[in-house]
């Protein structure tokens, strides 16, 4: 698991133990439910791969590799209550690069990279499309 976080005056890491980066098993799965938006990835992963006996996701026998690229933002969260999640473009790129690196040793069937909107979504779209020579929208060719 890869968990990335950067610290600034208004933004702090969500990594376990306050470290700025971790690849320890399980480090990408931590989510403080007091941070607005932090539960979104867990919710989506449950829909995809959940399996606890009382319900199952659409791919209950699959495995999830969590790559957490968000940080905790103390103020200026727009319509969401503070604190909230935020992501730096550099962290997003680092997370995507980690996926590409893992593709050579892990057999991936699918990937999910989602943003609710805003400028960052368009920057990521441009990055992904550039990575595959614009041959497939939102895809990374390997």
> What is the mean predicted confidence (pLDDT) over 39-62?
85
Q: Are strands 2-4 and 11-12 parallel, antiparallel or unpaired?
A: unpaired
| Nearest CA-CA partner of 17 in 26, 8, 9 | 26
Any idea where the domains of the chain sit in the sequence? 2-131
> What is the mean predicted confidence (pLDDT) over 63-71?
84
- 31-42, pLDDT tens digit by residue? 788 999 888 888
CA distance 77 to 74: 8
pTM, 2 dp: 0.68
- 97-129, pLDDT tens digit by residue? 888 788 778 877 777 776 655 555 555 555 555
Identify the pLDDT of residue 4.
44
pLDDT at residue 23 above 90?
no
- pLDDT greater at residue 78 or residue 29: 78
Identify the pLDDT of residue 118.
53
Question: For the chain, what is the radius of gyration of the CA atoms?
Answer: 16
pLDDT at residue 92 above 50?
yes
The full DSSP string for the chain is -EEE----SSEE--SGGG-SEE-STTGGG---TTSBTTTHHHHHHHHHH-BSSS-B-TTTT-----EE-EEEE-S--TTSPSSEEEE-HHHHHHHHHHHHHHTTTS--S-------SSHHHHHHHHHHHHHTTTSSTT----
Tokens at 6, concatenated: 């950067």
Identify the pLDDT of residue 6.
43
Identify the pLDDT of residue 82.
93
Question: In sequence order, which residues have a C-beta less than 8 Å from that of residue 122 and are 6 or more positions away?
Answer: none
């Amino acid at each position: 698991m890869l968990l990335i976080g950067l610290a600034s005056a208004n933004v702090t890491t969500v990594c376990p133990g306050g470290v700025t980066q971790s690849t320890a098993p399980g480090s990408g799965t931590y989510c403080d439910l007091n941070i607005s938006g932090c539960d979104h990835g867990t919710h989506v992963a449950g829909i995809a791969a959940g399996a606890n006996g009382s319900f199952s996701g659409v791919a209950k026998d699959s495995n999830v590799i969590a790559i957490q690229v968000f940080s905790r933002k103390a103020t200026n969260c727009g319509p969401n209550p503070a604190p909230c999640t935020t992501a730096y473009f550099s962290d997003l790129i680092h997370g995507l690069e980690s996926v590409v690196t893992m593709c050579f040793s892990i057999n991936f069937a699918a990937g999910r990279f989602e943003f609710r909107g805003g400028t960052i979504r368009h920057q990521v779209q441009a990055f992904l499309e550039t990575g595959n020579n614009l041959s497939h929208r939102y895809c990374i060719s390997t």
